[in-house]
Amino acid sequence: MRETKNNYNLEQSIRRSNELKEDALTFHEFVKTLPDRATVQKQTESRKKRILEVLGGTEVDWSDWKWQLRSRIKDSNMLALIIGLSDLERKRIDKVSRHYRWAISPYYLSLVDDDYENSPIYRQAVPDLRELDPGGSMDPMNEALTSPAPCVTRRYPDRMIINVTNQCAMYCRHCQRRRNIGETDRHACMEDIKMALDYVARNKEIRDVLVTGGDALLLSNKMLNFILAELHRIPHVEIKRIGTRTPVTMPQRITPEVVDIIRQYAPIFINTQFNHPLEVTPEAKLACDRLIDAGAVLGNQAVLLRGINDKPFIMRKLCQELLKIRVRPYYIFHAKSVRGTGHFQTGIEQGMEIMESLRGHSSGLAIPTYIVNAPGGLGKIPIMPNYLLKIQNDKVVLRTWEGKIVELENRA
Ligand code: SF4
């Protein structure tokens, strides 16, 4: 055994390093099976060109969020022209759309690759016949019973939600708030927003307000500014949060004007929803950069979705890609039993397997909390693998990320 002058064992250290390297290389081998950035970029460019041709849009239009919103694809004939769907596929989409609406921003549709049926982007965006399967509830969170004022949802002692709109850039097929999305786009009226703000002002224990929807950044700049300014004026509101998926589904929304609004009302935390590494594009990065430069703190709330991100390496890659664009993986939500989304649901075991595969294998910064929402609006329940095996008076038995059992002295 070779001892060095610093008294560490070189051979053992090298052996251990090699073990760790092997673990990392298994993941690297997987990453190599994913499409490389240049191929993805090429496919996206060609899809974008086709979308602009079909919609009669220009490059200038593409960068304009209002054009993106106005030009959302919500007609199966239009989608067929862009993607090349069969008649049968078109009819299936039409059948689902008689029950649930759909709309896809041109930008998000441009991310669908040639093998569209297997694309995690396509599956999140385009209606699927399985949405008509029975089962699930329209309101598993009992939101109807946690709303003490118009637009307000309150489930916790010191914080609450103001739901400002039911509009989104895209109507995600897995939406956990499908009940709110309804049939037509509708922002909350000024009277209701004022009543919600008044509720915040009258309840001094509220120190944290989440402005969401739908998608809070679908509001006009004027309305967004009004709500943030009013919250900023309330002395007991310590932080404001914004819920938006626009950095993922329509990053064009993050304009210099919206950024100037956000800059005025720190501290603002913005939570978004990237579900797959392919969503982390240069455009999404630019949107996140702008928000961060305006002082916002960004977090990601992924939803665990069967066939999209339910494989440990995909989720690991997603979390690592997010850190690269300075978005902290915050939550992985276990998909609730929402009517029309059952085909996306996974077992808790898959979530646990993902959490096991993150801890230790990647930095703690890349590890979100896995959350199951209690039915009836009773709040979030964090679920994690068990690392604490036994507590005795004078010792604890623990399990490491690699499954090694260790004992520590416990001073009760
Ligand atoms: S952006 Fe959010 S609220 Fe809107 S449809 Fe998608 S998941 Fe639902």
Give the predicted TM-score (pTM) of the model.
0.96
pLDDT for res 412: 73
Asked if residue 177 has its Cβ within 6 Å of ligand 1, the reply is yes
User: Strand pairing of 328-334 and 297-304?
Assistant: parallel
Q: How many helices (H) and strands (E) does the chain have?
A: 16, 12
Asked if residue 305 has its Cβ within 6 Å of ligand 1, the reply is no
What φ, ψ does residue 63 adopt, rounded to 5°?
-85, -5
pLDDT digits (tens, 9 = 90+) for 175-201: 998 887 777 888 999 999 999 999 999
Confidence of residue 8 (pLDDT cuts 50, 70, 90): confident
- pLDDT(3) > 60: no
Rounded to the nearest integer, the mean pLDDT of the chain is 95
Q: What is the 3-state secondary structure (H, E, C) of 28-73?
A: HHHHHCCCCHHHHHHHHHHHHHHHHHHHCCCHHHHCCHHHHHHCCE
pLDDT for res 184: 82
Within 76-173, residue ranges assigned H as helices are: 76-83, 87-97, 106-110, 120-125
CATH 3.20.20.70 region(s) of the chain?
A: 143-383
Asked if residue 163 has its Cβ within 6 Å of ligand 1, the reply is no
Nearest protein Cα to ligand 1, atom 6: 172
How many CB atoms sit inside 10 A of residue 49's CB?
11
pLDDT-above-70 percentage for the chain = 98
What φ, ψ does residue 393 adopt, rounded to 5°?
-55, -45
215 alpha carbon to ligand 1 midpoint, in Å? Answer: 7
Residue to probe by mutation, ligand 1, list 174, 176, 177, most atoms within 8 Å of CB:
177
Nearest protein Cα to ligand 1, atom 3: 214
pLDDT digits (tens, 9 = 90+) for 130-187: 999 998 888 777 777 889 999 999 999 999 999 999 999 999 999 998 887 777 888 9
Of ligand 1's listed atoms, the one at least distance from the Cα of 245 is 1
Residue to probe by mutation, ligand 1, list 69, 131, 166, 175, most atoms within 8 Å of CB:
175
204 alpha carbon to ligand 1 midpoint, in Å? Answer: 30
What φ, ψ does residue 381 adopt, rounded to 5°?
-115, 115
What φ, ψ does residue 363 adopt, rounded to 5°?
-65, 155
> How far apart (Å, rounded) are the C-alpha atoms in residues 123 and 125?
5
Nearest protein Cα to ligand 1, atom 7: 175
Asked if residue 245 has its Cβ within 6 Å of ligand 1, the reply is yes
Nearest protein Cα to ligand 1, atom 8: 175
Considering only CA atoms, give the Rg of the chain.
23
235 alpha carbon to ligand 1 midpoint, in Å? Answer: 31
Quick one: which H or E segment has residue 228? helix 221-233
| 143-383, CATH topology level | TIM Barrel (3.20.20)
Q: Which of 19-28, 138-147, 316-325, 395-404 is predicted least confidently? A: 138-147
**304 beta partners:** 334
DSSP 278: G
pLDDT digits (tens, 9 = 90+) for 280-296: 999 999 999 999 999 99
> How far apart (Å, rounded) are the C-alpha atoms in residues 147 and 66?
31
Sheet of 395-399, strand order: 388-391, 395-399, 405-409
- What does the angle CA 313 – CA 318 – CA 319 come to, to the nearest 5 degrees? 100
